[in-house]
Amino acid sequence: MEHKLLHPSHIFALFKYAVYLALVWNAWLFFQEDWQAAVFRLDELSGWQRIVEVYAQTIDTGAWVCLLLLFELETSYLPDSSLRRPGVKWSLHGLRALFGLVIVDTFIGYTGKFISYLEVQRIAADACTLADSGWSLLTNFDEFVALGTENCSALAGETLFRLDNSQILTTYTTLNDAQQMALVDVVNAGAWIMVIVLLEADVRLQLRGALTGMLLRLSSVLKFITYAVLLGAAVYWGFAGNFIDFWDAFLWLVAFVFIELNVFQWHEESDRLAAEPVRTF
């Protein structure tokens, strides 16, 4: 006799929630990264938007985890009759709107970070003249070390830039790589906002029984394009050697495959119920 836990549906559920837990763990890893970067990029004069720029990964991932769980609840657990109740419907809409606003704000943060990597000034001074005086060195995207006598000599002969009117130096090669990474972050965040819009439209149309025909095909085409962009970002991070971003992007794609499957099964179930003849006695 097959054990209940070995049933395919249970194995699938365990795998799905393992992915969700891995995303929560990634949020913690991103917080650690952002915390380390904040030491070099924030000071007592930093405003709210600057904080959002520095902690964009953490805020973005946390909001997305909450939004993912809301979509999971709505597309997999709550019956249509519950979703049509005003209290439930408006509570879900309100929470999604709240987390959506947070995600849009972090998109602005990613954009601000990208702009900060463009606002640079070339520095003619020898890096060692700035050593041990509060200056920092950008060694990789959002990775910084203090500029000291032990590492300044390695910058001899390099073209140096000052980042965003701050006391942060970087080389041309590192700056170019950081600009590309920051741009991919902006594109990736924008594509995920498109995913929210499309899923929100799917849920509302499905509840109205209108997710059919041309609307269904249009939704499918737009999703294919959007997920292709997201896959491209993941592949870029993989080739760039940024394992955490690659792994996180891969997990998010898998997680939203689960949500898309929920929507598909919901759509199929609604079609089946609509096709059943009404019994009269």
**pLDDT tens column, 46-104:** 788 788 888 888 888 888 888 888 888 877 777 767 777 888 878 888 888 898 888 89
Average pLDDT, rounded, for the chain: 84
For residue 159, the one-letter residue type is: T
Q: Which residue has the tokens 């837990």?
A: 21
Indicate whether 15 pLDDT > 80: yes
For residue 103, the one-letter residue type is: I
Contact assessment for residue 145 and residue 135, using Cβ atoms and an 8 Å cutoff: no
Torsion angle of alpha carbons 244, 62, 254, 223, nearest 10°? -110
CB neighbour list of residue 55: distance below 8 Å, 6 or more residues apart: 31, 34, 38, 109
pLDDT at 234: 94
Evaluated on CA atoms 259, 265, 269, 272, the torsion sign reads positive
The conformation of residue 44, written as its DSSP 8-state character, comes to T
Report the C-alpha gap between 188 and 38 in whole angstroms: 22
pLDDT-derived band at 268 (thresholds 50, 70, 90) equals low
Which runs of consecutive H residues, i.e. helices, occur in the chain? Answer: 8-41, 48-54, 56-72, 80-83, 86-118, 149-152, 172-207, 213-239, 243-275
User: Which residues on adjacent β-strands are paired with residue 161?
Assistant: 122, 170
Q: What is the pTM of this model?
A: 0.77
pLDDT digit string, tens, across residues 120-161: 999 888 889 888 898 999 998 888 899 998 888 888 888 999
pLDDT-derived band at 221 (thresholds 50, 70, 90) equals very high
Q: How many CB atoms lie within 10 A of CB 151?
A: 15
CB neighbour list of residue 269: distance below 8 Å, 6 or more residues apart: none
